[in-house]
Structure 1
Amino acid sequence: MPRYEYRCRSCGDTFELSRPMAESAAPATCPVGHDDTVKLLSTVAVGGSAKPSPAPPAAGGGCCGGGRCG
């Protein structure tokens, strides 16, 4: 279940809630009990290392690349 981060406008507390995506925009009450909260935009961190894709072969090279099959 996704976690969403909210901030209370009354006390300034930031908190997280686990809730279904369909309820992500539903009102949230802060842990102190205030109802004036706003959902914060989250940044997504992706770990790992990506390797660049190999370059496609140059045009005209290889079988049928230059139009001379046969």
Structure 2
Amino acid sequence: MPRYEYRCRTCGDTFELSRPMAESAAPATCPTGHPDTVKLLSTVAVSGVAAPSSRPAPAGGGGGCCGGGCCS
């Protein structure tokens, strides 16, 4: 289930809620009870190294025309 971040306009606290995408625009109440909140725009950062492929490299040098020996 997606998590959405909100900020309370009354006390300034930020909080997260897990809710279905269909309810992403529904009003959210601050954990301290304030009803005046705004949904924040979230960004996702993905970093890391891709896992190595489980498939072996093609035999014969592969790599398209220039790597396959057809450019003589």
What's the TM-score once normalised by structure 2's chain length? 0.67
Pick from 43, 62, 70: which aligns with 2:70? 62
Question: Could you give the per-residue CA deviations for residues 4-31 of structure 1, whole angstroms, max 9, x where no partner exists?
Answer: 0000001101000000011111100000
What's the TM-score once normalised by structure 1's chain length? 0.69
Runs ≥4 residues deviating over 6 A:
none
SS at match of 1:42: coil
Q: CA deviation at 1:56?
A: 6.5
Greater share of residues in helix:
2
> Which residue in 1 is equivalent to 2:2?
2
Q: Identity, % of aligned pairs?
A: 82
Q: Which runs of 5+ in 2 are unaligned?
A: 51-62
SS at match of 1:45: coil
CA RMSD of aligned residues (A): 2.2
Q: Which runs of 5+ in 1 are unaligned?
A: 64-70
Q: CA deviation at 1:47?
A: 2.3
C-alpha separation between the residues in 1 aligned to 2:22 and 2:14?
21
